[in-house]
Amino acid sequence: MHFPQQNYNYAGKIQKNCVEMLLCIVFSANFVLNYNKNAMIRFPNTVKLCLTLACFACLWGCKENIDTSARYVFNVNTILSYLEKHEAYSDYVKILEKVNISRLSDSKVSQLLSARGNYTVFAPTNEAIQKYLEDLVVEGLIAEPSWDAFPNEHKADSIRKVIVYNSIIDGGDEANAIFYTTEFPNDKDEFILGTLNDKKLSVRKPANQPDSIYINDDCPVSVKERDILTINGIIHQMEKVIAPKDITAANYIQQCLDEKREGFLVCFRIIQACGLLDTLRTVRDEKYEELYQAGEIKDLVGMTSYGFAEGDIGYAPKHRLYGFSIFAEPDDFWRSEGIDPLGADLLQKVTQWILSNHQYSDDDIFTTDENYANENNLLYQWITYHILPMRIPKGKLVFHINEYGYNLNRPYTYSIPVYEFYTTLGKRRLFKLTESRASNGIYINRFPTTDNGRKGNGEEIGCDPDKVGSLVDTESPLAILNDMVNCCVYPIDAPISYNDVTRDNFLKNRIRFDGMSLFPEAMNNDIRLKKASEERYKHVYIPNTVRSYNYFENMQQNSDMNFVYYNAWNDDWCNLNRDEMKAVGRFEVMFKLPPVPRRGTYEVRYKVLANSNRGIAQVYFGTDPEKLPAAGIPLDLTMDCRNDVTARLVGWEKDTDDDDYNAEVDKKMRNNGYMKGPKSINSNDGTERDYNDRENIRHIFVRQTLDPNETYYIKLKSVLDSDRKEFYMDFIEYCSKEIYDNPETPEDIW
C-alpha cells in the first residue's frame, strides 16, 4: 500500500487497536473537560480524574445508550461512526467509501475518518448532494440527477472527489487544529489549512445575520447542526455541497468582459488589450507536479541545525503554484474622470488620462501607439504596476506579528507601521503595502511621518497629502477574493502609478524587505508565515536544484547545501516577522534583489541574529550573476556582542540616558561597518530583544551607486570547510545617501 508523502502517514492513522481506542476515549473526555471551547469552562483536576475513571467504568459495565441528537459527542464516536448513525449523511458516507485518500493510495477516505486525527468535516446532507446533482444537470454534465446518469465511472469518480476533497480539512497531529465555528476566519478570510485537495476554503459572515456562516461565499453551514465534536475531529452540517469552480483569472476576466459586468471593466479591458490574459491563465507548474509525483523531489530528512533536531523532516512543497494580485481603480472612478468603461475609445482615453495626469516618471521610456501588448507601451507599463506576481489573500497583505508595541493576544490592536515591499509584474518596480494604528486600513505607497526619535514610540503621527497613498478595500462587495483559483482583485480608492512623486518617496525612505518577500512562490504556495506550528509547516524544505530546476525562481543554490524556511509562528525570535531562512552545508546561494527607485548612492545591509550555529560567508554583489565581484570581507554570522572583545571590535555599547553619547556609539559602529538591529522589531519573551540586543547586528556590506534599470544579485558563499554550519537570512535593506548621510536629520534607529 502506498501513501502520500506527509509528516504523518494515513496508513498509521488507519491502524488502531482496542487499547488505542480506549486511550482516545480518555483523551477525548479530558480534552473536553480541560477546555470546552463552546462554554469556555475549566474543571479542577479532581473532577477530571473522577470523570476519567467513570469513563473506564462505563466501558466495562454499561450498555451503549448513545444520544445521537447531542451536538457535543462525549462518547466513542469517530467522525465516520457519527455520520453512519445519522440518516441525513447516508449518501455522503457512501461517497466516502468510494473515494481514495489520494492518487497514491487505495485506502478510502471513510477509513481515514475512522482513524485517529484532527479533522474538520463540512458534511453535506443527502438533500445537498441531490441538489448538487441537479445543478450538474443544468450545466449539461449529466442528463438526470442520479449517479447512474454519468457516462462512465471515471466522470462519476471525479465528481465524488469534488464533494469529498473539498469537505475535509486534515489538521494533522495538532490537537488544536480543528475548527469550531467560533474559530472560523474573519469575513472573506481563508482557513489556515487547506482541504484534502490543497484548496483553501473561505468564510463569509453577513453583517445582518449574526448566526449565518457561509463557506466559499454561498454554501451555508447549518445553524443547528454545527460544532459536532467527535474523538477525531469536528463536523459541521452543510446545506450545499462545497464545489469551487477553480476558474482562472483569465477566464474570470473574459466572463466579465463578455457579460459587460460592472466593477472593473476598465481594468479588465486594459489587461486584455495588453495581452496579459495568457499570463493570468497560469495556475501551477506542471513540470514540478511531474517531478514530485515521480518521487524526484524528496523531503529532507536528518538535517541538524538550530531549531531543527536530528531526525526532523523538512517537507518539500507538494505543488508549485502561480498567482496574482490586482489592485484596480473601480469603474466608478473612471466615470468621475469622464471616461465610459464601455466606450469604444476607452484605451485611447485612458492613455491620454495617464499623460495628462503625469502618471509616469520623466525617466521612463515608453511609446503611446496602439500596440498595447508591447512592454514599452505606456498603457502596458501603467497596468502592470497594478499587478503583483503572487496571490495575496486578505489576511496576508501585511503581517502583524512582533513589531514594537504589538501583542498577538490583541491581534487587531495595531501599533507602528508595518510594511511589505514587492516587485511588480512587467518592468521591475517597487510596490509598498503598509498598515498602522493610525492608517485605518492597508495602503499602497503610503509614507507617513512617524515618532521615530530615540525615545519615541515609532507610531504614525501624520501623513502629508502627497504621501497618503491608495487605500486597499478588502471589505466591499467589489473585492474579488475567492472567486478565482489564482488571483485576488482589490479595489483601491485612488489611482496608483510609479510616477516621480512615488519614486522620490521611496528614495527618501529606508527600504527594508523580508527575505521571503523576494519569492512569489512562498506566498502562492502558502509557505510564508503560515499560522500553524505543526512540523510540516514549521520547517519547509525548498528543494535543491533538480535537473537545473529552481523552486524559487529568484534563488539559485548549489548542491552542497540544504535550504529550509523556518516558519517560527509560535517562537519568539527577534527577526522581522519572526521567521527566517536557513541552510546547512557548504552553502552557496544567490538571490535576485528588488530594484532601487532612483539612481544614486545606497548602502545595502544584511541583518544577522548571530549565534554559534551560523557560518562565515563571503558576500558577492553586482549585476552579472555569472561574475559577481566580492563585496568586502567575509561576514561572520556567528559574531555577536555578548563577548566583550567582539563588542569592542564592533563598537557596540548599550544605550544610555545620554542620546548624544548613544549617537556617537552608533557612528562608531557605522565606521566599522556595523549597525544595531532596528528598534521596530520587538520580542515578548521577557528578554531584551530590541535595539540593545547583543545578537542583533546589521552588516553594511555595500556602499555604491545603484541604478533602477539594473537587476542586482547577492550571493553568499561559505568560506568554512564544514557541512554543519548555517547560512542565515532575515532581511536586507537599501538606504540612500540622502538618509544615512543627512546632516540635518540623522537616520532613525527604527
Checking if the pLDDT of 512 tops 60, the result is: yes
Comparing 552 with 724, which gets the higher pLDDT?
Answer: 552
Domains of the chain: 10-238 (2.30.180.10), 511-740 (2.60.120.260)
Question: H/E element holding 728?
Answer: strand 726-729
Query: What count of other Cβ atoms lies within 10 Å of the Cβ of residue 144?
Result: 10
- Closest by CA to 549, choosing from 521, 516, 573, is 521
- Closest by CA to 681, choosing from 569, 528, 607, 575, is 575
Query: What count of other Cβ atoms lies within 10 Å of the Cβ of residue 451?
Result: 15
Span 296-344, pLDDT tens digits: 898 988 765 545 555 678 899 999 999 999 999 999 999 999 999 999 9
- The answer to whether the CB of 588 falls within 8 A of the CB of 617 is no
Q: Which amino acid is at 95?
A: I
Checking if the pLDDT of 19 tops 80, the result is: no
| Mean of per-residue pLDDT scores for the chain | 88
- The answer to whether the CB of 594 falls within 8 A of the CB of 427 is no
Q: Which amino acid is at 577?
A: N
Checking if the pLDDT of 536 tops 90, the result is: no
The string of DSSP codes covering 540-601 is EEEPPPSSS--SSTTEEE-TTEEEEEE--TTS--SSTTS-EEEEEES-EEEEEPPPPSSSEE
Span 616-666, pLDDT tens digits: 999 999 999 999 999 999 999 999 899 899 999 999 999 999 999 999 999
Mean pLDDT, rounded, for 16-27: 38
Instruction: Give me the long-range contacts of 9-14 (CB less than 8 A, separation at least 24).
Output: 10/101, 10/105, 10/107, 10/112, 10/115, 11/107, 13/112, 13/115, 13/116, 13/117, 14/107, 14/111, 14/112, 14/114, 14/115
The string of DSSP codes covering 216-246 is TTTEEBPSSS--EEETTEEEEEESS------
The string of DSSP codes covering 481-529 is SSSSSSEEEEEBSS-----HHHHHHHHTS-EEEEGGGG-HHHHHTT-TT
Span 113-149, pLDDT tens digits: 999 999 999 999 999 999 999 999 999 999 999 999 9
Phi, psi dihedral angles at 592 (to 5 degrees): -85, 130
Question: H/E element holding 268?
Answer: helix 265-273
Q: What is the pLDDT of residue 39?
A: 36
Q: Collect all residues with Cβ–Cβ distance below 8 Å to 159 and sequence separation of at least 6.
A: 136, 141, 150
Residues facing 729 on adjacent strands: 581
Q: What is the pLDDT of residue 235?
A: 98
Q: What is the pLDDT of residue 200?
A: 94
Dig out the grid coordinates for 656 from the structure. 544610555
Distance (Å, whole) CA 337 – CA 364: 24
* H helices, E strands: number in the chain: 20, 32
Mean pLDDT, rounded, for 540-558: 86
- The answer to whether the CB of 609 falls within 8 A of the CB of 695 is yes
- In the chain, % helix, strand, coil (3-state, to 5) comes to 25, 20, 50
Checking if the pLDDT of 430 tops 70, the result is: yes
Q: What is the pLDDT of residue 75?
A: 57
Checking if the pLDDT of 93 tops 70, the result is: yes
Q: What is the pLDDT of residue 304?
A: 56
pTM: 0.87
pLDDT band per the 50, 70, 90 thresholds, residue 42: very low
Interior CA angle at 71 toward 80 and 127, to 5°? Answer: 60
Mean pLDDT, rounded, for 458-476: 96
Distance (Å, whole) CA 524 – CA 284: 10
- Closest by CA to 168, choosing from 129, 130, 202, 123, is 123
Q: Is 744 helix (H, G, I), strand (E, B) or coil?
A: coil
- The answer to whether the CB of 246 falls within 8 A of the CB of 184 is no
pLDDT band per the 50, 70, 90 thresholds, residue 62: very low
Mean pLDDT, rounded, for 401-408: 92
Cα separations in angstroms, 206 against 186, 198, 216, 557, 599: 11, 26, 13, 48, 49
Dig out the grid coordinates for 520 from the structure. 512569489
Q: What is the pLDDT of residue 31?
A: 38
Q: What is the pLDDT of residue 74?
A: 46
Mean pLDDT, rounded, for 153-176: 92
The percentage of the chain sitting over the pLDDT mark of 90, rounded to a whole number, equals 75
Span 255-275, pLDDT tens digits: 999 999 999 999 999 999 999
Q: What is the pLDDT of residue 12?
A: 41
Span 344-361, pLDDT tens digits: 999 999 999 999 999 999
pLDDT band per the 50, 70, 90 thresholds, residue 176: confident
Q: What is the pLDDT of residue 473?
A: 97
Mean pLDDT, rounded, for 394-400: 96
Q: Collect all residues with Cβ–Cβ distance below 8 Å to 205 and sequence separation of at least 6.
A: 184, 186, 187, 212, 213, 214
